[in-house]
Amino acid sequence: MPDFLRARRDRRRPLTRLGYHLLDLASYESAYLLGPARRELFFNSGYLPLARDFLVPPEMEAEAHAAMMYHFVARCLPAEAGLKLSPRRIADIGCGPGGGLAYMATLYPRAALCGTERAWAGRRLARQHVPRAQILGAKAPLPGPCDLITGVGTPTYIGLAAFLARFAPQLSPGGVISISGGYRQGDHAALRRELEQAARAQQLRLLDYRDIAAATRAALEADIPRREAALAQLPAPFRPYARRWADLPGTPEYEEYQRGERCDFAAVLQAATDRRD
């Protein structure tokens, strides 16, 4: 998957970097239009083991590991940080085909739902999967102050400081941002410092930060057969690139998991109850 940290440090010529960026953009659209993702609810990494209070809806059973990531971000992590959430409005940034919104609707059935997604094909799928949610383009303003903003993978692509600068002002007083992401290589201590600095600039408190690489690796290993079967449906020329996207065995991305180099994380932050914008 796209890696903001790698892109930032890439020493190739700007036009070459732009070419790879455009390839990623085209790949997202193609995945939702032509690839196996068009028949799935989720397009995010998973989390294992499953929590004891995790109840997977029947339609999500094949993607339970991916739904569990949203359970962890929207329920477990905030609860373990001492928060009792009862959000009136939830926004999922980078909602993909809408599985995360559909799952959070089961956690918080009274909440208004909003998702943003840059891929047109992804937005179309999300509207089909979650008709009650408002699905917006990536640059559209959110419909109102949010009590909970989630981002699974998206902060990695946007960058932590940029993500918080964009969405912290759209929190309600006491509102919560709960995120997960992953860098192919990184330093958790440095990443936490970066997040703390970005949080202070936006009047947020970092309540918890977790290294979740063991959980994402466990989910990847369990999901390899399903991913291999999905990739077998692609035309042969697309399979090598798709294997890298899927972090499958034989790719540098998979080997980084094996060597313990992945820097996968989750964090929960909260706005002040008397915040001043």
For 197-218, write each residue's pLDDT tens digit.
999 999 999 999 999 999 999 9
Tell me: the pLDDT tens digits for 71-125? 999 999 999 999 999 999 999 999 999 999 999 999 999 999 999 999 888 999 9
Q: What number is the average pLDDT over the span 23-49? A: 77
Tell me the HSE value of 45 on the side-chain side, using a 13 A CA sphere. 33
Integer CA distances (angstroms), 258 to 40, 42, 216, 225, in order: 27, 24, 12, 17
Tell me the one-letter amino acid at 23: L
Q: What is the residue whose two structure tokens read 């190739």? A: 12
Higher-pLDDT residue of 19, 130: 130
Q: What is the mean pLDDT of the chain?
A: 89
Query: Six-digit token pair at 226?
Result: 């399903």
CA distance 54 to 230: 26
Phi-psi region of 207 (alpha: psi -120 to 50; beta: other; left: phi over 0): alpha
pLDDT of residue 217: 97
Does residue 4 surpass a pLDDT of 60? no
Query: Six-digit token pair at 41?
Result: 């609810």
Alpha helices in the chain (DSSP H): 4-9, 14-33, 64-71, 77-80, 99-107, 120-129, 154-158, 160-167, 188-201, 213-231, 239-245, 252-258
CA distance 212 to 185: 14
pLDDT of residue 242: 82
Pairing of strands 112-116, 204-211: unpaired
Closest CA to 133 of 116, 120, 150: 116
pLDDT of residue 218: 98
Tell me: the pLDDT tens digits for 166-181? 999 999 999 999 999 9
Does pTM top 0.75 for this prediction? yes
Instruction: Indicate the fold that domain 4-216+257-271 takes in CATH.
Output: Rossmann fold (3.40.50)
Q: How confident is the model at residue 61 (pLDDT cuts 50, 70, 90)?
A: very high
Rg over alpha carbons for the chain, rounded to the nearest Å, is: 18
How is residue 179 annotated by DSSP? E
